[in-house]
Amino acid sequence: MKHFACIIMLLLACLPPIVAQELSDSAFLDAEMEDSISAMAIRPVENPEELLMRALQRLEKDLQYKHSKREYQLEAFFNANTSSPLFASRTFTVEGDDGIDVMNIEHTDMGPWSIKGTYSQNVSADLDFALLYSNSMHLDVKRSKWKYVDISKLFTYFETLEKVYTGILKIYNVTAYCIGDETGRGVYRVHLDEKEPWPLRGFENRKMKWYLDRQSLRLIQINEDKYISERLQRHLFRHDFGEENGAPFLTKSIEIRAYDGVVVRRTSIQLVEK
């Protein structure tokens, strides 16, 4: 297991800088705030469950905002270390969305795939199925402990905010840290670690980190590390969010998938700046 973890970290280090910073606390802070790393204080939050509730209250409000039109570039690399690599890309526009679920077909206009590789014939349908961006969580729903729900749908799927909150606490251990300086600038880092692995998929275990603006509790970033022990399969996610009129929207997403220590797919979604 230690050998597997070392390989993943080495591979992350070889990717572009934003990926290599995947697990670095300082990477999630505004550069203007970072006069030096030593100036950043990290301390535990005494009541992380209360902070989680406040974050959910803010998120429920932010998801009501409908965002303006924008364009994204989606790129995917498959089997880069083999004799048959594949590169695929496409652009898409989204408008009137909640800012989180940017690939909701009700608000998205997808462009055609551009595919390069030795086995690029008739793979568009497979790509449409495989490259589904999401921010899903396991929740305890109606006696089922392993319901997948995208966070953008939390407050429409459940009847009340309290049920969302309770459903999360039944599945995840919650801890939180405040990272910032004496001026009050910084972020909250909320850890959501599953209490037990999901046995139906080879003991899948998920750990998430939500980064929130320290003052407003606006969502800044979501990190996830998912490991399926039976398959030696690991997925790393990072979703970065900007803001429009105070509400968050996706600016960059990175997903890395590895099997038995070998990266087999890297996917990114990047906001196209005008």
What string of DSSP letters covers the chain? -HHHHHHHHHHHHHS-HHHHTTT-GGGGS-GGG-S-GGG-EEEE-S-HHHHHHHHHHHHHHHTTPPPPPEEEEEEEEE-TTSSS-EEEEEEEEE-S--SS-TT-TTTEEE---EEEETT-TT-HHHHHHH-----EEEEEETTEEEEEEEGGGHHHHSS-HHHHHHHHHHHEEEEEEEEE-TTS-EEEEEEEEESS-BGGGTSEEEEEEEEEETTT--EEEEEEEEEEGGGTEEEEEEEEEEEETTEEEEEEEEEEEEETTEEEEEEEEEE---
> What tens digit of pLDDT does each residue of 67-121 get?
999 999 999 888 766 667 788 899 999 999 999 999 888 999 999 888 887 655 5
Question: So what's the pLDDT on residue 7?
Answer: 37
> What tens digit of pLDDT does each residue of 4-53 get?
344 334 333 333 333 333 333 333 333 333 343 345 788 999 999 999 99
For helices 161-171 and 48-62, what crossing angle results, to 10°? Answer: 130
Asked if 179 contacts 166 with a C-beta cutoff of 8 angstroms, the reply is: no
Question: So what's the pLDDT on residue 181?
Answer: 76
| Bridge partners of residue 253, in order along the sequence | 239, 269
> What tens digit of pLDDT does each residue of 143-182 get?
665 577 888 888 887 778 998 898 899 889 999 999 987 7
Query: What's the whole-model pTM score?
Result: 0.81
Q: Mean pLDDT of all residues in the chain? A: 79
CA distances from 163 to 29, 56, 144, 157, 158 (A): 31, 11, 14, 10, 6
> What tens digit of pLDDT does each residue of 194-204 get?
888 766 555 67
Which residue has 């608000």 as its token pair?
107
Work out the angle at residue 94's Cα, subtended by the Cα atoms of residues 88 and 95, and round it to the nearest 5 degrees.
175
Question: So what's the pLDDT on residue 169?
Answer: 92
